[in-house]
Amino acid sequence: ADCLEHLASSQQGDRGDGGALVYFFETPDGSLLYQDTSGHWTGILRDLRPDVAILAAAGRGNIDGEPIQGSLSQFVARQAELLRPRRLLLCHHDDWLPGFSIDTDVAPIREALARAAPHTELLEPGYLAASEILPVR
């Protein structure tokens, strides 16, 4: 019932509820969490422990249906602290569509992660660079 109330109250036409999509993959080499938008529901994320997390780092983060009070770097660091992945990659932070998208300065995110989640390795592969993310050794 709560879910249906939420969907009805946040209906955005043909775009559905406008929430973030999060996928959790379990493989023989480890687990991977992929997030497409800077937002999450704490009740779902708090019990997940991916080996690798790919987190969106663009725009204004949203937690439990409310915009965060703070910076994008604080939001990403808070998610890393919650998930505790061994490796983390950022997505949606680069200028993927020049003229429309905006490049995100990763330095503040890097600094916030070092403080909040020192156990997490931030991988920063180059554009179109092959990167082995699993297994985590």
**80-91 per-position pLDDT tens digit:** 999 999 999 998
Domain count along the chain: 1
Q: What is the pLDDT of residue 70?
A: 93
Quick check: is 75 in a domain? Answer: yes
* Residue 95 or 49, more confident: 49
* Residue 3 or 104, more confident: 104
Q: What is the pLDDT of residue 33?
A: 97
Is the pLDDT at 121 greater than 70? The verdict is: yes
Write down the pTM of the prediction.
0.81
Q: What is the mean pLDDT of the chain?
A: 86
Quick check: is 43 in a domain? Answer: yes
Quick check: is 119 in a domain? Answer: yes
108 in helix, strand or coil? helix
Quick check: is 12 in a domain? Answer: no
Q: Do the Cβ atoms of 21 and 3 come closer than 8 Å?
A: no
Quick check: is 30 in a domain? Answer: yes
The residue segments making up the domain with residue 55 are 17-123
Quick check: is 131 in a domain? Answer: no
Bridge-based pairing state of the strands 30-35 and 52-56: parallel
Quick check: is 132 in a domain? Answer: no
Q: What is the pLDDT of residues 37-50, one digit of tens each?
A: 888 989 999 999 99
